[in-house]
Amino acid sequence: MRRALLACAIGTATAAALALAGPGAAGASFGSSSGCVTLPVTSKLKSTLLRVHRAALDTGEIRTSGPFGRVYYGRCPKAFYALATFHHKTARLDFGAQDQPERFQRRVGGSWKDRGDTGGYVCAAAPRALLKLWNLVGSCD
C-alpha cells in the first residue's frame, strides 16, 4: 500500500512540474523520435540572427530591431532552425512586425541563412517534428 501511494505521489509531482514549466517544456531537453530537439536561446544567438537578418535586407533605408518576443530554436539531424520576430522602420513608415516571424536555417557545420519571412504562416518554416516541439503545429492542420 505504501509503495502504491509513493508511486502515485511521484507521478502526480512529475505531472505537476511539467504543467508548471509550461508548454513544450518536455521538448526542451528531450527530442522526438525524429531526432529533433529544442535548444536554449542565448543572447549570442539573438544577436547573430539580427545581424544575419539585417544583411539579408540589402538596404540601408530600413532600420531593424529585435528579435522581440519568443525566439524558437531547435535542431533536427541535418540542420538548425530558428524563428524570430523583428521590427522594421523607414524614415516615413513603421512596418512593425509585419509578415513575421522570420525563418532561419543553418546546416550542420554551415552558417545561418535568412530564409525570409513566414507571412505569419509558420508551417513551412521548419520540419513538422520541430514545429510540434515548439507547439506551433496546431496552426498547420
Domain boundaries, the chain: 24-140
pLDDT in tens, 21-36: 333 333 344 455 679 9
User: pTM of the entire structure?
Assistant: 0.73
CA separation, residue 123 to residues 18, 73, 101, 128, 135 (Å): 26, 15, 12, 7, 11
| CA-based nearest residue to 134, from 17, 26, 16 | 26
Q: Give the span between the Cα atoms of 24 and 22, in whole angstroms.
A: 6
- To the nearest 5 percent, what fractions of the chain are helix, strand and coil? 35, 30, 35
The 3-state DSSP class for residue 117 equals strand
For the stretch 73-92, pLDDT in tens is 999 999 999 999 988 887 78
